[in-house]
């Protein structure tokens, strides 16, 4: 295996402009281009206006499943530049550099077929089903352990630590309504702006149906919460699907109104 070594290069407006690859992007239609442009505006604005731009940049890079080294290679900068921005060791980038990084992330997705960009189509068009009780994006991420404590959850399945990620939001769904009424594209809307979120399913009888729905969709949440059952009542098939997908799975019997208040309290504390 050949290891590529990149000289330490600080990303400035000049280097950002020079680092843009000259390989022509795949041809895409007007509707797709519109989704891409709107998503780019959303991402760049969120990163620039965030109290923690580095953490927000990391969130979007992770959502698109792009490593620091791959992003750095695409931008022709040292991997430490991306790492330093995300960790806050380097001064937060301005809007020009943020836009270049966002464009690079989106261009890399286009080169892979554009599945991630297309998954945001429904979200950008707006409108949510009445199967959604609450959907929220956090101002700062919350850990799986923190959220589990807030909702007094019991562990059903926990993958290795390398599969446990910070959560950037949550969606509370009536699982029966969602399964009966939502199309595939509408189900994708439940992820809000980040798939790294807690998906909390209510009206659960065994837990199997919502887990099957997760199994057949492209996006996978950072945590699944089955509401209304204890851990011992969860169908073993549901736990097995969580294991296959390597997604943490917990159960809670906390009243749903208390769950919502507890989850919303995270932003108040931070």
Radius of gyration of the chain (CA): 20
Q: Quickly state the pLDDT bin for 26 (edges 50, 70, 90).
A: very low
Q: Which of residues 95 and 9 earns the better pLDDT score?
A: 95
The 10 Å Cβ neighbour count of residue 65 is 12
Q: Which of residues 161 and 132 earns the better pLDDT score?
A: 161
Q: What is the mean pLDDT of the chain?
A: 82
Q: What is the pLDDT of residues 120-147, one digit of tens each?
A: 765 655 555 677 888 888 878 899 999 9
CATH homologous superfamily of 13-121 equals lambda repressor-like DNA-binding domains (1.10.260.40)
On the question of a common fold for 13-121 and 127-269, the answer reads no
Q: What is the pLDDT of residue 4?
A: 41
Q: What is the rounded distance in angstroms from the CA atom of residue 6 to the CA atom of residue 143?
A: 33
Q: What is the pLDDT of residue 20?
A: 44
Q: Which of 167, 174, 168 lies closest to 201, judged by CA?
A: 174
Q: Quickly state the pLDDT bin for 185 (edges 50, 70, 90).
A: low
Q: Which class does domain 127-269 fall in?
A: alpha beta
Q: Where are the domains of the chain?
A: 13-121, 127-269
Q: What is the rounded distance in angstroms from the CA atom of residue 43 to the CA atom of residue 101?
A: 10
Is pTM beyond 0.85? Reply is: no
Listed range (11-20, 28-37, 209-218, 229-238) with the worst mean pLDDT:
11-20
Listed range (38-42, 90-94, 191-195, 257-261) with the worst mean pLDDT:
191-195
What is the rounded end-to-end Cα distance, in angstroms, of the chain?
Answer: 45
Q: Which of residues 135 and 155 earns the better pLDDT score?
A: 155
Cβ–Cβ < 8 Å for 126, 255: no
Q: Which of 211, 217, 193 lies closest to 41, judged by CA?
A: 193
């Amino acid at each position: 295996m050949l290891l590529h070594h990149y000289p330490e290069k600080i990303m400035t407006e000049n280097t950002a402009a020079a680092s843009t690859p000259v390989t022509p992007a795949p041809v895409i239609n007007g509707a797709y281009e519109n989704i891409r442009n709107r998503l780019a505006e959303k991402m760049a604005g969120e990163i620039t206006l965030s109290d923690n731009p580095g953490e927000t940049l990391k969130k979007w890079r992770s959502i698109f499943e792009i490593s620091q080294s791959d992003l750095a290679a695409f931008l022709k900068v040292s991997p430490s530049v991306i790492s330093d921005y995300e960790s806050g060791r380097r001064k937060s980038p301005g809007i020009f550099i943020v836009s270049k990084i966002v464009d690079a992330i989106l261009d890399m997705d286009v080169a892979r077929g554009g599945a991630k960009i297309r998954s945001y189509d429904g979200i950008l068009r707006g409108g949510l089903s009445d199967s959604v009780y609450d959907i929220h994006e956090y101002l700062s991420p919350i850990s799986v352990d923190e959220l589990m404590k807030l909702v007094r959850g019991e562990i059903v399945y926990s993958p290795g630590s390398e599969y446990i990620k910070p959560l950037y939001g949550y969606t509370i769904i009536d699982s029966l309504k969602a399964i009966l009424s939502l199309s595939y594209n509408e189900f994708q809307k439940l992820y809000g702006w980040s798939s790294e979120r807690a998906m909390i399913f209510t009206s659960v009888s065994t837990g199997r149906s919502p887990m099957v729905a997760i199994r057949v969709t492209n996006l996978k949440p950072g945590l699944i919460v089955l509401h209304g059952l204890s851990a011992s009542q969860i169908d073993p098939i549901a736990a097995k699907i969580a294991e296959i997908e390597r997604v943490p799975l917990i159960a809670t019997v906390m009243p749903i109104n208390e769950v919502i208040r507890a989850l919303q309290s995270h932003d108040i504390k931070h």
